[in-house]
Structure 1
Amino acid sequence: MRTLEEQIDVTTPVDRTWELLHRFADYPRFVDGVVRATPHGRNRARLDVEICGVRRAVDAEIVDHGRGRVMTWELVDGVHLRGTFALRPLDGARTQVQLRLEYDPDTLREDIGGPRGFAQSHTVEEAVRTDLEHFKEVVERPPTRR
């Protein structure tokens, strides 16, 4: 099992940042490969993903760990990925977003393809960094009025 930890500071209050993490419909805006995401039951989300040209649906189980602003998710349909988001308020207007991703390189390659060894680790790291940068862009945009 491999573990990757990344973090990014965003210029939004912790409550707004937390809210975006729970708006699954917005996931395609910042998670590469997610085409559509919808709530599915109380603690699940259905993700339509496209990886290496193959489209499929996977379910993620989501667990909130209360007031500590920690959310854990795990894919339950084959792909062996588990992640934890932890939000830490830096002040009233800024939040640190920490992501811990756990994956098994062998089963990840079997499930979605791609490179092996160091190249795979590098690919996963780059994808996570890019997704966090996209998350920052989305969460820092002013909310649209409805």
Structure 2
Amino acid sequence: MEHVEETVEVAVPVRTAYNQWTQFESFPQFMSGVESVTQLTDTTNHWVTKVGGVQREFDTEIVDQEPDDRIAWRSTDGKSHAGIIRFTPLDANHTKVRVHFEWAPETATEKAGAALKIDEMQVKADMRKFKDFIESRGGETGGWRGEVKDKGPTGQF
């Protein structure tokens, strides 16, 4: 299992940063390799990604969610990936956003990318893009304030 952690500070209130992250269908606007995310229910999403020329489709479920604090997810097949994102207010207008992501590379291309730390560089770049996206807008595109109680381990930190 590979993993990466990345932290970025954004110049928006914690509520704004959190609300934007709940808008999964906006992820292609700041995440490279994400072709689309379709929200199926409040807690499940269908993803289409294309990384290194390999297209994948998979579903994820939110397993733990607390407004303005964290969102944890895992793939529904139980092996592909899992992660958690945490939001920490630094002051009224600044938030620390920290993501921990784990995945199981399957193809030779994915294993090579992991070995060369390409995935790690991509997560870092995507977090910078999220910062630019939310700061340039000055507000979120929407928000879901529901809670999901812990449904099991997700590689929490």
Q: Give the TM bin, normalised by the shorter chain.
A: 0.7 to 0.9
> 1:73-126: CA deviations, max 9, x gaps?
11225862111100000000000000111233xxx133863516631xx11210
Say whether residues 1:115 and 2:112 are aligned partners. yes
Aligned equivalents of 2:111 and 2:6: distance in 1?
Answer: 22
The answer (yes or no) to whether the contact 1:30–1:135 under 8 Å persists in 2 is yes
Aligned equivalents of 2:140 and 2:109: distance in 1?
Answer: 36
Distance 1:114 1:12, change over 3 A: same
1:102 corresponds to: 102
- Kindly state the Cα deviation for residue 54 of structure 1 after the two structures are TM-superposed: 3.2
Give the alignment's TM-score, normalised by structure 1: 0.83
Higher RCO structure, 1 or 2 (CA under 8 Å, sep 6+): 2
Where structure 2 has 5 or more consecutive residues not aligned to the other structure, the ranges are: 142-157
Q: Higher helix proportion, which one?
A: 1
Q: Give 3-state SS (helix, strand or coil) of 1:141's partner.
A: helix
Distance 1:61 1:52, change over 3 A: same
- Kindly state the Cα deviation for residue 29 of structure 1 after the two structures are TM-superposed: 0.8
Distance 1:110 1:76, change over 3 A: farther
RMSD over aligned CA atoms reads 2.5
Where structure 1 has 5 or more consecutive residues not aligned to the other structure, the ranges are: none
Q: How many residues align?
A: 140
Aligned equivalents of 1:123 and 1:109: distance in 2?
Answer: 15
